[in-house]
Structures are given as structure tokens and as C-alpha cells.
Amino acid sequence: MARVFLTGATGYLGGDALHRLSASKGPKLSVSCLVRDATKAQDVAKAYPSVRIVQGDLDDTHLIETEARNSDIVIHLAATAHLASSKAIAKGLAEGDRESVGHWLQISGATLLATKEIAEGRFGFKDDKVYDDVKDIQKVHSIIKNNTQRAVDLLVVSQDPLKVKTALLVGPHIYGTGRGPTNTRSIQAPEYARATLKLKEGFRLGEGENSWSTIHVQDLSDLTASLVDAAAEEKSGLWNEDGIYFPENGDMEFGELGARIAAEAHKQGLIPKSSVKKVIDAKEADSLSGHASILWGTNAVIKSSRAGSLLEWKPYHPSLRDEIPAIVRREAKTQRAKSEL
């Protein structure tokens, strides 16, 4: 039985991954989860009685190192850039007393592909670059190595494969309702919908011609589960320098996202007009939602080739376009609930 240590169980990505792993029909797993909050720990334990709760947070590096040392597979979904916890995982897996090499699955973010735009403060503009996780793998490695803000990504891909086998999951625009015990809400599209309802009108950031690839959270969890199965079965050819994965199911311009949200909000009687005439800049975007200039204004278009060919993974959940009505309804419901408090 493979021993799995998962971080982020009370978060959006980690919670959905835990749900998926709990229903896995692959190799049997013994799952432990790092949980900081005692109340949320009770929620996780109630939803998944067989899961072992590890009380602590990402700064408890000795604890994380110990748990990694005692695990076969570590799934780090709580953060993309927490270097101390990632170093603890690397050390624990490398030094673990185990019969086979330990595995580490790490979440990253597609903003790594927008480094230049962010540095130049260019938001809302079109960029035709598409990064394929097979064809452009060396280019992606170069981006990681030459960006000091991607220290965790570099730590993951540079592990000695004889000591630790790694997979870096680069998350694009993730959407869909999570199935975890606490946080089930994504960020980019729901925050765009929330801001639209707050402003009472549709809007776009700059030209609105920038695009991100998209993936349903449950498709991402399916890929995570496939990698866990592969790790438990000790499959080769999937890890370290060849272990960068770009999960995606198409892409969308943020101008289109804003227009579709406005049209749906108007259809549901939530805003007076369906048209989008308001144009905001980066400063206003950030005032509407944290880091929105980056999350709504950059380009991150990717192509998933590796997972399909090596793991037979294929996304099949509804597209972002199909999910927009539900996103708007949910944000409107949340807004009404807050106004009634």
C-alpha cells in the first residue's frame, strides 16, 4: 500500500484531489493530510474517516520533512511558491528509508509563462505564443531556470531522479466547483463574475485580447490521480526533467470571458445591460480583486501533449464556456447571502 502525504486538503485544488484519490480504483493508498486549522481538520476527518490528519502548517518544516520521509508519494497542492516547505519535502524524500525512490507531485502556475508581460506591466494584449509540454520542454526549462521567482519549480525539476522522482503540474485557468470538504471555489472566473455584479456592468481589462488555457478542476484531479497511480506502480519516463505537465482543455480570451459573464448576468436579471463598454486598467483591476491585473491581464496558452501520450489522460468535464451560467448564479447567491447578514 502506497503511503501518500498531501498538503492543501482544505483548499480548492487539494480538496478536490483528495476527493478523487478517495474514490480511486487504482493501487491502494494510505493517505495523510497536513491541516492547519483544527475546525477544518474535523471537516476533513468527517468527510474522509480513513485519512490521517497531520496538524500543522507549511512553516512546520521539521514536521513536513518527517512526513515526507515516511511517505512514498508527496502531493504538494497547498502552495506554488513556499520554498521552505518544498525544501523540507525534497530532503525528507531523498533521505527516507524506503525500498523504492520516493515521488513528489508539485502544483505550479501558468504565470511562469507570463514573466515578461508582468515585468513590463503589459496587460490585456494579445500574444500568439503557445507552449507545448513536449515540443517546448527545453524552452520551459529555460524559463524556469532564468526566473528567480520560480525557485520551487526549479527545485522540483532539478531533483536527482535516483533519489526523488518529481512531476510539476502547471495549472492554467482552473474552473469548476471543487468536491473538497471546505473551499470549493476557484479564483479567476468567479472573481471576474463577482466584480461584474459589484460594478453592475460588464468590463474588460485593457484590450481584453489576452488568453489563458483552461482546465476543469476535476480533470486536473484526474491527472493527479493518474500520476499517483504511476508513482505507486513505479512507472518510468514520466518524471523530473520529463515530468512537466500542462493540463488544458482549450483556451479563452479574457475579453470573451467578460462578455459572456456580462451576457449571462443580464440574462439572469442581475445587471441592467449585457453590453461591455467599461474598460479598466491594471490598478483598477487590482482594486477589484487581488493580483487581478496578472490573473485577468496576461497570456498563458499551453498545450497538453505529455499526459495524453504517456498516461492516456484526456479532459472530459464541461468547458469554461459551459460553466459560466453556474459561476454567475453561484456568485449572485453568495452576494445575496452576504447582503442579508
Cα separation, 339 vs 330, in Å, equals: 14
Length of the chain counted residue by residue: 341
pLDDT at 321: 98
Q: pLDDT band at residue 284, thresholds of 50, 70 and 90?
A: very high
- Say what the pLDDT of residue 96 is: 67
Q: Quick one: pLDDT band at residue 339, thresholds 50, 70, 90? A: confident
Grid cell in block for residue 110: 501558468
CB 280 within 8 Å of CB 205: yes
Quote the pLDDT of residue 292: 98
Looking at residue 95, its pLDDT comes to 86
Predicted local confidence at residue 189, as pLDDT: 98
Provide the grid cell at 308. 495524453
CB neighbour list of residue 82: distance below 8 Å, 6 or more residues apart: 58, 152
What percent of the chain has pLDDT above 70? 100
Measured CA to CA, the distance from residue 6 to residue 16 in angstroms comes to: 12
> CATH number of the domain at 2-336, out of 2.130.10.10, 3.30.413.10, 3.40.50.720, 1.10.286.10?
3.40.50.720
Contacts of 286-294 with CB under 8 Å at 24 or more apart are 288/191, 288/195, 288/198, 288/199, 289/191, 289/192, 289/194, 289/195, 292/191, 292/195, 292/205, 293/123, 293/205, 294/111, 294/114, 294/118, 294/123
Q: Is the pLDDT of residue 98 over 90?
A: no
How deeply is 51 buried, as exposed, middle or buried, from its count of CB atoms within 10 A (0-12, 13-18, 19+)?
Answer: buried
Strands 73-76 and 2-7: parallel
pLDDT at 341 over 90: no
Q: What is the pLDDT of residues 228-259, one digit of tens each?
A: 999 999 999 999 999 999 999 999 999 999 99
Residue 257's pLDDT is 98
pLDDT at 112: 96
pTM (predicted TM-score): 0.97
Residue type, 220: L
pLDDT at 24 over 90: no
DSSP-derived secondary structure for 4-67:
EEEE-TTSHHHHHHHHHHHT--SS-EEEEEEE--HHHHHHHHHH-TTSEEEE--TT-HHHHHHH
The pLDDT, as a whole number, for residue 104 is 98
- pLDDT(51) > 70: yes
pLDDT of residue 115: 93
Q: What is the DSSP code (8-state) at residue 241?
A: G
Please report which confidence band the pLDDT of residue 45 belongs to, taking 50, 70 and 90 as the band edges: very high
* Mean pLDDT (whole number) for 34-47: 96
